[in-house]
Chains A and B, each alone.
Chain A
Amino acid sequence: MFCKSLTSIFGSHQKFPNNMKWVIDLFTSSLGRKLIMALTGLFLISFLVIHCTINAMIFYNDNGETFSHWGHFMGTNPIIRTLEIGLVAGFLFHIVQGLMLVKSNSAARPVSYSVAAPPPQSTWYSRSMGLLGTLLLLFLIMHTAHFWIPNRANQFAHGEELPLYSKMQDVFSNPLIVVLYVAGCVSLFWHLLHGFASAFQTLGLNHQKYNGLISFVGTAFSIVVPLIFALMPIAIYLKWIN
């Protein structure tokens, strides 16, 4: 399907320069599409490190001074703003490719089984990445609608950032929103728990000397990062931070 859409963009394979046809072949193949998922996934993981670190500055409990300082840097620094285009592209590639893979993978089994008993060695969350990813997409839409989109819109219209710290206080005063954010973090935990190690396997990085390390770092990352994120709305709602 991806192949067809590319063909429609480039007319046909023949019109595309012959010495570059391999790029199309690679990224339309099943393994190439997995490669896109793995690389964009790891890129988004690196984004989570930065996002989590800067947002965790609210825990200084200094009325958002440190957080706002770094938030302002991230929102205005020209290098960061340029990288942000790559981030948006990374999200789009990961989401679009992911949804297309879900579609083509379910098409590969047109008639389903009447009895299915997946083996215990195969975890439920590894088989539910499409579902977890869709939940994360819904979360992402809500989350960007709360902060990123209005902030960038304001910068575009008035050249000024919104006061994000007070906006956080405002958004997280609603208990329903807090619950939805925590649910988003739980989805992120399960998504990362499979996605982190899975990306390395897809890249072919499976080696008995390093598998333990990948699994340990992946599990620790999947617990620590969503936990810190989840603590933010909780801490603000319960006024641990004021």
Chain B
Amino acid sequence: MKLTLKVWRQKNKEAKGEFKTYQADHVSTDMSFLEMLDVLNTSLIKKGEDPIHFDHDCREGICGMCSLYINGHPHGPLQTTTCQLHMRTFKDGETITIEPWRAGAFPVIKDLVVDRTAFDRIQQAGGYVSVNTGGVPDANVIPIPKKVADEAFDAAACIGCGACVAACKNASAMLFVSAKVSQFALLPQGHAERKERVEKMVAQMDAEGFGSCTNTKACEAECPKGISVTNIARMNREYLSAMFTNYKVEVGGGGD
């Protein structure tokens, strides 16, 4: 199949970007979207041009590295990751517009590559369970109902790709943050630090400059892992309860 590609090219963070049009004349319907770009890049390299920079890693739909805003949709028209999107989804002769994720908190590094370290900083702020030293406890000692484990796992399926931010008209990161808050809040191992966790993660999310959620549900519809907005409601509950009830201990723990 033959395709016309309108691709966002931008030299670096400071440079002004623009769309450049490329012709892809020998595209197989069995190619993944990234493979189609690989072939285009090979031809650009052969011509001595700068290849199109884009993020990718596992190409199995589980790492969250690939991105691309294709024809108005993060990860393209299907609810999957770009690496799992195949060219048979498109029509012969179609014009495909490829843009980077657009968000102030995700600045463009080059072409279609954006800096998503804001997500890393949110995770580092509280998206973990502190594990103290000691023997490994038996996994079955802590009773967790199957449905709770399943619900936590559904939240944990978030791969942190940023499609929610890309899809949201407010560039809000609340689906991502709420998934990370939920996966711990639901499980007993996460209970101990739940209040500090949600406070710190929301504070970091705000500091990064993401927008606010207006419940348009575009994130849920575009998320390649189908993360539900019920997680956002849970984060709201967690946050409000933490803000109204959490307290600081100003003195030492009585150890000395």
Instruction: Using CB atoms and an 8 Å cutoff, list the residues of chain A in contact with chain B.
Output: 22, 25-26, 29-35, 101, 104-123, 126-127, 129, 194, 197-198, 201-206
The one of A107, A109, A119, A123 that contacts B222, using a Cβ cutoff of 8 Å: A119
Q: Are B212 and A107 in contact (CB under 8 A)?
A: no
Q: A113-B69, A122-B218, A127-B216 are in contact. Are A105 and B243 (CB under 8 A)?
A: no
Within 8 A of A (CB), among B171-227: 171-172, 174, 202-203, 205-206, 209-218, 220-222
In the complex, the 3 A-B pairs of residues with the closest C-beta atoms, listed nearest first? A117-B72, A204-B237, A108-B211
Q: Are A202 and B203 in contact (CB under 8 A)?
A: no
> Can you report 29 A-B residue pairs in the complex whose CB atoms are below 8 A from each other?
A25-B203, A26-B244, A29-B243, A31-B202, A31-B212, A31-B235, A31-B240, A34-B213, A107-B104, A107-B211, A108-B171, A109-B102, A110-B104, A112-B102, A115-B69, A115-B72, A117-B71, A119-B167, A121-B220, A126-B215, A197-B215, A198-B215, A201-B215, A201-B229, A201-B233, A202-B215, A204-B238, A206-B229, A206-B230
Please name the residue on chain A nearest to B97 by beta carbon.
Answer: A115
Please name the residue on chain B nearest to A26 by beta carbon.
Answer: B243
The one of B211, B217, B222 that contacts A104, using a Cβ cutoff of 8 Å: B211
A194 to B206, CA, bound (A): 24
Q: Are A118 and B102 in contact (CB under 8 A)?
A: no
Say yes or no: is B234 at the interface (Cβ < 8 Å to chain A): yes
The one of B71, B103, B222, B244 that contacts A108, using a Cβ cutoff of 8 Å: B103
Instruction: Using CB atoms and an 8 Å cutoff, list the residues of chain B in contact with chain A.
Output: 19, 69, 71-73, 97, 99, 102-105, 167, 169-172, 174, 202-203, 205-206, 209-218, 220-222, 229-230, 232-240, 243-244
Please name the residue on chain B nearest to A3 by beta carbon.
Answer: B206
- B206 partner residues in chain A, CB cutoff 8 A: 29-30
- B236 partner residues in chain A, CB cutoff 8 A: 31, 34-35, 201-204
- B172 partner residues in chain A, CB cutoff 8 A: 30, 105, 108
A104 to B172, CA, bound (A): 11
Say how far B30's CB is from chain A's closest CB, in angstroms: 25
Q: Are A32 and B99 in contact (CB under 8 A)?
A: no
Q: A201-B229, A204-B234 are in contact. Are A105 and B214 (CB under 8 A)?
A: yes
A123 to B220, CA, bound (A): 13
| Most chain B CB within a 10 A radius of its CB, from A110, A113, A121 | A113
Q: Are B212 and A101 in contact (CB under 8 A)?
A: yes
Number of residue pairs A-B, CB distance < 8 angstroms? 137
Say how far A40's CB is from chain B's closest CB, in angstroms: 15
Q: Are B99 and A126 in contact (CB under 8 A)?
A: no
Q: Are A204 and B97 in contact (CB under 8 A)?
A: no
Say how far A26's CB is from chain B's closest CB, in angstroms: 5
Apart from A198-B214, A206-B229, what are 20 other A-B pairs with CB-CB below 8 Å? Answer: A29-B202, A35-B236, A104-B211, A106-B211, A108-B172, A108-B210, A108-B211, A109-B103, A109-B104, A113-B69, A117-B71, A117-B72, A118-B218, A120-B221, A127-B216, A127-B218, A197-B215, A202-B215, A203-B240, A204-B234
| Most chain B CB within a 10 A radius of its CB, from A30, A118, A127 | A30
- B243 partner residues in chain A, CB cutoff 8 A: 22, 25-26, 29, 32
Q: Are B240 and A108 in contact (CB under 8 A)?
A: no
- A206 partner residues in chain B, CB cutoff 8 A: 229-230, 233-234
Q: Are B209 and A108 in contact (CB under 8 A)?
A: yes
A242 to B111, CA, bound (A): 68
- B104 partner residues in chain A, CB cutoff 8 A: 107-110
A18 to B110, CA, bound (A): 44
The one of A26, A34, A197 that contacts B212, using a Cβ cutoff of 8 Å: A34
Q: Are A119 and B99 in contact (CB under 8 A)?
A: no
Q: Are A105 and B211 in contact (CB under 8 A)?
A: yes
- B215 partner residues in chain A, CB cutoff 8 A: 126, 194, 197-198, 201-202
A119 to B102, CA, bound (A): 17
- A111 partner residues in chain B, CB cutoff 8 A: 102
Q: Are B99 and A104 in contact (CB under 8 A)?
A: no
Please name the residue on chain A nearest to B99 by beta carbon.
Answer: A113
Q: Are A108 and B105 in contact (CB under 8 A)?
A: yes
A26 to B242, CA, bound (A): 10
